[in-house]
Amino acid sequence: MNDTWAIEAHGLGKRYRRGWALRDCSFRIPAGRICGLVGPNGAGKSTLLNLAARLRRPTAGSLRLFGTSISDPEAILRMAFLPQDKPLFKRFTVEETLRLGRELNPGWDQTVAERIVGAGNIPLHARVGTLSGGQRTRVAFALAFGKRPNLLVLDEPMADLDPLARHETAATLMAETADSGTTVVMSSHLLGELADMCDYLVLLCDGRIRLAGDVDELLPAHRLITGTGAHLEPHTVVESRTTGRQTTALIRPEGAIAPSWAVAEPCLEDVLLAYLRAPAAPVLMTDVARVPEPAVAA
Amino acid sequence: MSTLVHTPSARPPARHRPHLSGMAWLTWRQHRAAYRVAIVATLSAGAWMLYQGLRWRDFLRDAPPFYNERYSHEYESWYEPAQLYTGLALYILPLLLGVFLGAPLLAADRDKGTAKLVVTQSVSRVRWMATRLAVTALVVVVCTGVLSAAFTWWWQPHGLEVEWYRPERFATTGPMPVALALAMTLLGALIGFAIGRTLPAMAITLGAGVAVLYVSTRFRGLLGVRRTISGPFPDPAVRAPEHSAHIDHFFTTTSGRQVSPGQCSTNPLDSCLADRGVVHSSVKYFDLAQRDILQWTGAAFWTAVALIAGALTVWWAARRSL
pLDDT at B39 over 60: yes
Indicate the burial class of A125 (C-beta count within 10 angstroms; 0-12, 13-18, 19 or more).
exposed
- pLDDT of the residue at B177: 95
Q: Where does the pLDDT of residue A117 fall: very low under 50, low under 70, confident under 90, or very high at 90 and above?
A: very high
- % pLDDT > 90, chain B: 58
Any CB–CB contact under 8 A between B119 and chain A? yes
Give the mean pLDDT of A263-286.
89
Determine the angle formed by the axes of helices B291-317 and B125-154, rounding to 10 degrees. 160
At B241-275, the pLDDT tens digits run 888 888 888 888 888 788 777 777 766 777 777 77
> What is the spatial distance between Cα B313 and Cα B307, in angstroms, rounded to a whole number?
10
Q: Could you report how far apart the first and last alpha carbons of chain B are, in Å?
A: 48
CA angle B126–B129–B134, rounded 5-degree value: 115
How close A7 comes to chain B (CA, Å)? 17
**In whole angstroms, how far apart are CA A194 and each of A38, A202, B239?**
9, 11, 89
Whether the CB-CB separation of B146 and B49 falls below 8 Å is answered with no
- pLDDT: is A217 or B240 the higher one? A217
The CB-based long-range contact list for A162-165 (8 Å cut-off, 24+ gap) reads: A162/A133, A162/A134, A164/A134, A165/A132, A165/A133, A165/A134, A165/A137
Distance, in Å, from the CA atom of A71 to the CA atom of A57, rounded to the nearest integer, reads: 8
- When scoring B121, B314, B321 by the number of chain A Cβ atoms within 10 A, the one with the most, hence best to mutate, is B121
CA–CA separation, B147 and B172 (whole Å): 9
> Average pLDDT of chain B?
89
**A55, B120: Cβ pair inside 8 Å?**
yes
| Beta strands A151-155 and A79-82, pairing class | parallel
B48-84 per-position pLDDT tens digit = 999 999 999 999 888 888 888 888 898 899 988 998 8
A239-260 pLDDT, tens per residue? 888 888 888 899 998 888 888 8
Distance of CA A273 to CAs A38, A269, B260, Å?
10, 6, 89
Share of chain B above pLDDT 70, in %: 93
Q: Which residue has the higher pLDDT, A166 or A48?
A: A48
User: Under CATH, domain A5-215 is a member of which superfamily?
Assistant: P-loop containing nucleotide triphosphate hydrolases (3.40.50.300)
Best of B7, B29, B117 to disrupt the A interface by mutation (most A CBs within 10 Å)? B117
The answer to whether A39 touches A45, Cβ cutoff 8 Å, is yes
Domain range annotation of chain A: 5-215, 217-280
Minimal Cα distance from B116: which residue of A? A55
| pLDDT greater at residue A176 or residue B100 | B100
pLDDT category of residue B5 using cuts at 50, 70 and 90:
very low
Angle at A50 between CA A47 and CA A55, to 5 degrees: 130
Q: Is the minimum CB–CB distance between B13 and chain A shorter than 8 Å?
A: no
- CB of B124 within 8 Å of a chain A CB? The answer is yes
In this structure, the strands spanning B278-286 and B227-232 are antiparallel
> Mind telling me how many Å the CA of B7 is from chain A's nearest CA?
8
pLDDT of residue A294: 63
Domain extents for chain B?
22-62+74-223+291-317, 227-288
Q: Using pLDDT thresholds of 50, 70 and 90, give the confidence band for residue B240.
A: confident
| pLDDT of res. A20 | 93
Tell me which of B5 and A156 has the higher pLDDT.
A156
Beta strands in A144-219 (DSSP E): 151-155, 183-187, 200-205, 208-214
Do B120 and A53 count as a contact with CB atoms less than 8 A apart?
Answer: yes
Q: Return phi, psi of residue B14, to 5°.
A: -60, 130
3-state secondary structure of B130: helix
Q: What are phi and psi of B33, to 5 degrees?
A: -60, -50
Please report the pLDDT score of residue B15 as a whole number. Answer: 56
In angstroms, the CA A8 to CA A23 distance is 15
What pLDDT is stored for residue B8 in this prediction?
47
Write the single-letter amino acid at A153.
Answer: V
User: Is the pLDDT confidence value at B187 over 90?
Assistant: yes
Q: What is the pLDDT of residue A186?
A: 94
Distance CA A116, CA A93 (A): 15
Say what the pLDDT of residue A113 is.
94
Sequence-separated (6 or more) residues with CB below 8 Å from residue A109? A145, A146, A147, A148
- Residues 32-51 of chain A whose Cβ lies under 8 A from any Cβ of chain B: 50
**Does A297 score more than 80 pLDDT?**
no
- Is the pLDDT score of B231 beyond 90? no
**Among A59-68, B83-92, B153-162, whose mean pLDDT is lowest?**
B153-162
Decide if B125 touches A, using CB distance below 8 A.
yes
Q: Do B9 and A106 touch (CB under 8 A)?
A: no
Coil vs helix vs strand at A201: strand
Q: How far is A126 from A96, CA to CA, in rounded Å?
A: 10
Reported pTM: 0.88
Query: Which of residues 54 through 113 in chain B touch A, CB cutoff 8 A?
Result: 112-113
Spatial neighbors of A270 by CB under 8 A, at least 6 apart, are A222, A224, A250
pLDDT per residue over A68-109, tens digit each?
Answer: 999 998 899 999 999 988 999 999 999 999 999 999 999 999
Asked whether residue B11 carries a pLDDT value surpassing 90, the answer given is no
pLDDT digits 0-9 by tens, B98-154: 999 999 999 999 889 999 999 999 999 999 999 999 999 999 999 999 999 999 999
What are the angstrom distances between the C-alpha of A17 and each of A20, A114, B110? 8, 43, 20
CB contact at 8 A, A25 and A12: yes
Who among A55, A92, A103 is closest to B321 (CB)? A55
Phi-psi region of B56 (alpha: psi -120 to 50; beta: other; left: phi over 0): alpha
Q: What is the DSSP string of A219-230?
A: GGG-EEEEES--
The CA distance from A111 to A145, in Å, is 10
Mean pLDDT, residues A5-13? 94
**Which residue would you say has higher pLDDT here, B210 or B160?**
B210
Rg (CA), chain A: 21
Task: Report whether A177 contacts A184 (CB < 8 A).
Answer: yes
